[in-house]
Amino acid sequence: MDVSVVLDSLNEAQRQAVTAPLGPVLVLAGAGSGKTRVLTHRIAWVIQVEHASPHSILAVTFTNKAASEMRGRIEQLLGAPGGGLWIGTFHGIAHRLLRLHWREAQLPQGFQILDAEDQQRLIKKLIKAQNLDETLWAPRSVQGFINSNKDEGLRPKDLRGGDSSFRQMVQLYTLYEETCAKSGVVDFAELLLRAFELWRDNPELLAHYRRRFRHVLVDEFKDTNGIQYEWLRLLVASEGHPFVVGDDDQAIYRWRGARVENLQRFRSDFPHAQLHRLEQNYRSTGAILDAANGLIARNSQRLGKNLWTSGKQGDPLKLYAAFNERDEAEFVTHRVREWLAGGGNRREIAVLYRSNAQSRVFEEAFIAARIPYKVYGGLRFFERAEVKDALAYLRLLTNRHDDPSFERVVNVPARGIGAKSLDILRERAQVSGSSLWDAALAGASNGDAPGPKAAAGLRGFLALIELLAQQIQGRPLHEQVDHVLKASGLTEHHRREKADSRGEARAENLAELVSAARGFASQAVDEALPPLESFLAHAVLESGEAEGEPGTDCVQMMTLHTAKGLEFPVVFLCGMEDGLFPHQRSMDDLEGLEEERRLCYVGMTRAMRQLYLSYAEQRRLHGTDNYCEPSRFIMEIPQKHIEEVRPQVQVSRPVAAGRFRLEEPVSAVMRLGARVRHRKFGEGVVLNVEGGGSTARVQVSFESQGTKWLMQEYLEAL
């Protein structure tokens, strides 16, 4: 391969990073600066110029989509398949290691992965078995305790002292670990912790992987948590060549364990690490970048960089002060229409907000205006109930002792095995120290099953699973899945759900699962597992990565956290009010406030051409009316980059905050933003007033009827 293919498309800063001498390298990559390009070209450079074997390269990122894209780009650069490369997410690579070394990891060969929902269901069962009150011991809280300790590398035996509540949490953690070991299942956090312990406790195995993976590259390094960092440091040691890429200004996941300080820690652990900054932005206009730079400069403990562009300066940011949340939504709708009228596409527009609860008003406004939209963050394919039912059947075929899967489908379709029968079965399993499968098998063989109807149902279920396991042997993966769906009765069960109009859609989702299996089999690269087990692991690892359907032309709506990594020509950053953004919980905490500021910076740098900021004087959220102050982040943006915009109204209104105060209203008979009632259209909010006295016309946004102009005499003030 010609080296120019690797270097010619890079700018000078990118080229310096890609060609850096072997050894520890930290690349501080700003938003839109081409970090993925640098990572992929670095791998091609190491293979072509440093003559590294593809087998010596381990590349880690945070989503399966990013890993797939990285592999594709590398193969394109090399002009050859990259089969020897290990490229994947932390969880995916940890899973691969544990499958290869299940004995050393003290796991059963056919271990299965619990997703978050199954994990919470198991914890709920343990809380009930301990006769604890769920209002005091919420399953989600216990789940968070377990996962956060695993993220820090802490087992129950490492947690000592504390008050009685803490000791009860540790006991639940202990019971949870024992139950998982008995069932042969691991959760997401366990994958990482067990992979770390695998290397830590097996020096010869660790030495083997240190010799093999001399080149370790990590994307989004600032999002690593404690156990991920220790896992990487253990692998690299002093002989490896770590190449890590991250941006401390975009670290927004502290709430789920990410440590932005790992960037500083890397420089401490590798004092001779080379530092490269990527500051040229290829996404946004100069005005947007200057505004974002001015905001993020308020944060302390930054490694420091300043984004710039060789492109246009562009328009200043537009700031809109709304009367209330409905006025805010009307403003956004109006500007969306303007963009579309100018020849733009709906998919080029993003509405970003701090809280999911903010989406409802925008959805209502878009529906009234007949503007198609998509809300990111809904259930993805592998998270849908009918798909999870199918996966539970398949998991039982590979591991009979998978209790969460057993519980999920033992009575789906219905077999007369109710909650009481399951409680009896759980109790027997607990007393005998066995899995639910073994407890059911023992009860069926000695006639000691819970009730005649449940006994018949259990015997039928056990026989069905054994029969299915025999029938799918030797078949292609997609035929295995198809046969299980039909022979188990799942497809027909969901199709018959007449009371639910989504029944046919659920059956179609099950058909799509067969297609997914066919596609997976054609591109699978992991030969360490049988096809079905590999597919099941893929399904769990894929769940939770929210993304929209490709090719859909609709306005994109999402939280700021979801927007990270995306870009749009037009961005609306809504709800810019103190208490909402920054969030109330973070306003008195320096670390929390700085993370909120980074989140705002992320939102701003999603915009390519136009960026709108909006706030409301009054906002009804969670059923409560609140009078709001503009976000401090608005004040922190250099004011020369902000232009205030007003609605096309014949009256003006007071704006409740400092420098943004406009003149007092001159002709408003009814106060703008006031709530009114119409006998036919119901309750609404005043958006505009024309004229005065009895002939005044009032524009009202009704909760269920959209926006209408009416004579004042037909409205009653509330």
Q: What string of DSSP letters covers 359-414?
A: HHHHHHHHHHTT--EEETTS--GGGSHHHHHHHHHHHHHH-TT-HHHHHHHTTSS-
Catalytic hit among 16, 19, 36, 48: 36
SS (H, E, C) 207-236: HHHHHHCCEEEECCHHHCCHHHHHHHHHHH
Q: What number of CA atoms fall less than 13 Å from residue 337's CA on the CB side?
A: 11
CA–CA gap between residue 501 and residue 602 (Å, rounded) = 40
Can you read off the two tokens belonging to residue 175? 């019971």
Q: Is 427 a catalytic residue?
A: no
Q: Is 250 a catalytic residue?
A: yes
CA–CA gap between residue 555 and residue 349 (Å, rounded) = 5
Q: Is 606 a catalytic residue?
A: yes
Catalytic hit among 606, 632, 653, 675: 606
3-class secondary structure, 243? strand
3-class secondary structure, 112? strand
Residue where the block lists tokens 């839109």: 32
Catalytic hit among 220, 248, 325, 389: 220
Q: State how beta strands 317-324 and 568-573 pair.
A: unpaired
Q: What string of DSSP letters covers 122-156?
A: HHHHHHHHTT--TTTS-HHHHHHHHHHHHHTT--G
Alpha-carbon distances, residue 162 vs 144, 149, 158, 437, 532 (angstroms): 17, 15, 12, 37, 44
Q: What are phi and psi of 328, to 5 degrees?
A: -60, -45
CA–CA gap between residue 67 and residue 4 (Å, rounded) = 25
The closest alpha carbon to 580, from 627, 517, 541, belongs to: 627
Q: Is 330 a catalytic residue?
A: no
Q: Are 338 and 344 in contact (CB under 8 A)?
A: no
> In 524-606, at which residue ranges do the beta strands (DSSP E only) sit?
555-559, 568-573
Q: What are phi and psi of 441, to 5 degrees?
A: -65, -45
Can you read off the two tokens belonging to residue 492? 């027909």
* 76-81-85 Cα angle (round to 5): 100
Q: Is 220 a catalytic residue?
A: yes
Q: Give the other-Cβ count within 10 Å of 379's Cβ.
A: 12
Alpha-carbon distances, residue 361 vs 328, 351, 368 (angstroms): 9, 12, 11
Catalytic hit among 14, 112, 250, 605: 250
Catalytic hit among 219, 348, 386, 533: 219
Q: Are 590 and 548 in contact (CB under 8 A)?
A: no
> Is the four-CA dihedral 193, 195, 199, 201 of positive or negative sign?
positive
Q: Give the other-Cβ count within 10 Å of 696's Cβ.
A: 18
The closest alpha carbon to 440, from 462, 465, 470, 473, belongs to: 462
The closest alpha carbon to 687, from 704, 705, 675, belongs to: 675
Q: Are 42 and 17 in contact (CB under 8 A)?
A: yes
CA–CA gap between residue 421 and residue 423 (Å, rounded) = 5
> Is the four-CA dihedral 209, 211, 217, 223 of positive or negative sign?
positive
Residues 6+ apart with CB under 8 A from 255: none
Q: Is 713 a catalytic residue?
A: no
Q: State how beta strands 112-113 and 185-186 pair.
A: parallel
CA–CA gap between residue 185 and residue 491 (Å, rounded) = 27
What are the residue numbers of the active site?
A: 35-36, 219-220, 250, 606
